[in-house]
Amino acid sequence: MLYIEILGNLPEMARDEAKAMLELAGGRIAGQDYLFLKIDADEGAFPYLNRLGLAHEYGMLLVEANSIEELLQKARDVDWPIKGTFKVDTETMANCRHDVLDLPRKLGAVIHAKGFRVNLSKPDTLVRVYCGEKLYAGIRLRFFDPKDFESRKAHHRPFFRPISLHPRVSRALVNLTKAKREILDPMMGAGGILMEAGLLGLKVYGVDIRPEMVEGAEMNLRHYGIRDYELKLGDATKLEELFPGKKFEAVATDPPYGTSATLAGRKRDELYEKVLESIYGVLEEGSRLAIAFPASFDGEAEAEKVGFKLVGKYYQRVHKSLERYFYVFEKP
Ligand SMILES: C[S@@+](CC[C@H](N)C(=O)[O-])C[C@H]1O[C@@H](n2cnc3c(N)ncnc32)[C@H](O)[C@@H]1O
């Protein structure tokens, strides 16, 4: 058994991102306790789990218990796969029902008694305990360092535009499409979504209607070492003309929300409707689109009119005047 700790700000989107990666890996979510996911998968899933954007960490789940006593009892029977020194670290989730204050010391003593050495300042292995409805203990295998994502936030890129999603969210959009080979962002802006996809090894295709964005997105992709890209100046409502005969494995995009410059003079809702139709035309059957729309636009109804099937819908309040939904659609 494995576990994933997802991030708390978009929890349903984070869970579905994990689910999408597990579908590619041949695993599944076997249970959920708030932000803790129990995962039925083996080592073969690691390359897919390493792609996650909205996750804090994943690891090996070794003990599950209903009480502290049961946890300690079971921990005595576990062959702890600890390399070098260890430390016990507790995650008290908002739904924690147990008194875990003294648990690191008690569990540390159980593991120490098996011959492992504690090192509180620089442990080689982190034993993680999660407290929710139940208690879980395991070993951290991968921590998704926020610094890694922060280093790709808009203001760190050579071509800077403030209208960019957080890199973790861009990464999740890519993963929600279940892309394995390639992805298209037909309104790529500064290329934030394509950067995350390119870093996963996908071939990236991008379109923007403004020449400075096409140049800027290329600058950003090259800065982060991405070379397998094809960027075009053009109109997202005319994708079949831009890519004659081409069908894409996946599309992810974040259309402009309404300033006149980013809408390039078009009426917002009309642009969204045409873009949805145009994307539908260039997607392979059975493939997915991940897209953001402001809450004032009914993305679900409009996409269904075009033929898409809704797979997921996630609400986010960005600030007082911007509420949006992220949608995942499938072309049947
Ligand atoms: C919100 S931005 C995308 C930001 C991007 N996701 C990022 O992370 O940098 C939307 C982009 O859509 C572009 N755009 C507007 N109308 C378009 C159209 N008809 N075809 C293609 N691009 C368009 C704008 O120039 C703008 O760069």
What's the domain range around 54? 2-144
Residue 313 has pLDDT above 80, yes or no: yes
- Kindly report the CA angle at 117 between 115 and 118, in degrees rounded to 5? 135
Question: What is the rounded distance in angstroms from the CA atom of residue 284 to the CA atom of residue 306?
Answer: 15
Within this chain, do residues 247 and 136 fall inside the same structural domain, yes or no?
no
| Residues 176 and 303 grouped into a single domain | yes
* Residue 55 pLDDT exceeds 60: yes
Q: Is the pLDDT of residue 320 over 90?
A: no
Residues 168 and 314 in one domain: yes
Distance 260 CA to ligand 1 centre (A): 12
Same domain, yes or no, for 234 and 291? yes
Does the C-beta of 256 come closer than 6 Å to ligand 1? Answer: yes
The verdict on the CB of residue 189 being under 6 Å from ligand 1 is yes
Convert the pLDDT of each residue in 150-160 to its tens digit: 999 988 999 98
- Across all residues in the chain, what is the average pLDDT? 96
pLDDT at 305 over 90: yes
pLDDT of residue 261: 57
Shared-domain flag, residues 76 and 152 = no
Considering the domain architecture, whether residues 135 and 281 belong to the same structural domain is answered as no
Assign residue 304 the CATH number of its domain: 3.40.50.150
d(CA 63, CA 258): 50
pLDDT at position 321 over 90? no
**Could you tell me which residues are beta bridge partners of residue 324?**
294, 316
The per-residue DSSP string of 66-88 comes to SSHHHHHHHHHT------S-EEE
Q: How many domains does the chain have?
A: 2
* pLDDT the model gives residue 292: 97
Where is the domain boundary, 144, 164, 181? 144
pLDDT at 205 over 70: yes
pLDDT of residue 259: 61
Residue 210 in contact with ligand 1 by CB distance below 6 A:
yes
14 CA distance to ligand 1 middle (Å): 24
Q: Final residue of a domain: which of 115, 144, 173?
A: 144
- pLDDT at res. 12: 98
Contact criterion met (CB below 8 Å) for 11 and 35: yes
Instruction: Check pocket membership of 216 for ligand 1, CB cut-off 6 A.
Output: no
Q: Give CA separation, 227 vs 72, 165, 294, in Å.
A: 51, 22, 32
Residues 129 and 157 in one domain: no
Mutation pick for ligand 1 pocket among 262, 270, 322, 324 (CB with most ligand atoms within 8 Å): 262
Q: Which is it for strands 322-330 and 248-253: parallel, antiparallel or unpaired? A: unpaired
Least confident of 33-42, 162-171, 236-245: 162-171
**How high is the pLDDT of residue 82?**
97
Q: Which of 110, 144, 178 is the last residue of a domain?
A: 144
What's the rounded mean pLDDT across residues 78-88? Answer: 97
What is the CA(319)–ligand 1 centre distance, in A? 20
Provide the terminal-to-terminal Cα distance of the chain, rounded to the nearest Å. Answer: 33
Q: Whose CA is nearest to atom 27 of ligand 1?
A: 189
Ligand 1 center to residue 325 CA distance, Å? 17
Burial degree of 327 (CB within 10 A; 0-12, 13-18, 19+):
buried
CB 190 within 8 A of CB 154: yes
Per-residue pLDDT of 242-286, as tens digits, reads 999 999 999 999 999 876 556 766 789 999 999 999 999 999 999
Determine the atom of ligand 1 nearest the C-alpha atom of 192: 8
207 lines ligand 1 (CB under 6 A): yes
Compute the distance between CA of residue 255 and CA of residue 271 in angstroms, rounded to an integer.
9
Do residues 216 and 114 both lie within one domain? no
Q: Is the pLDDT of residue 139 over 80?
A: yes
Whole-number percent of the chain with pLDDT over 70 = 98
Please check whether residues 170 and 314 belong to one and the same domain. yes
Q: Which of 64, 138, 59, 75 is nearest to 98 (CA)?
A: 64
Give residue 256 CA to ligand 1 midpoint distance, Å: 6
Q: What is the pLDDT of residue 164?
A: 84
Kindly report the CATH number assigned to the domain that includes residue 40.
3.30.2130.30
Band of residue 163 on the pLDDT scale cut at 50, 70, 90: confident
Would the CB of 193 count as within 6 Å of ligand 1? yes
Residues 271 and 135 in one domain: no
Mean pLDDT computed over 110-123: 98
Q: How far is the CA of 178 from the centre of ligand 1 (A)?
A: 22
Residues 140 and 157 in one domain: no
C-alpha torsion sign, points 244, 192, 37, 15: negative
Closest Cα to atom 3 of ligand 1: 189
207 and 85 share one domain: no
**Residue to mutate, 187, 194, 195, 238, ligand 1, most ligand atoms under 8 Å from C-beta:** 187
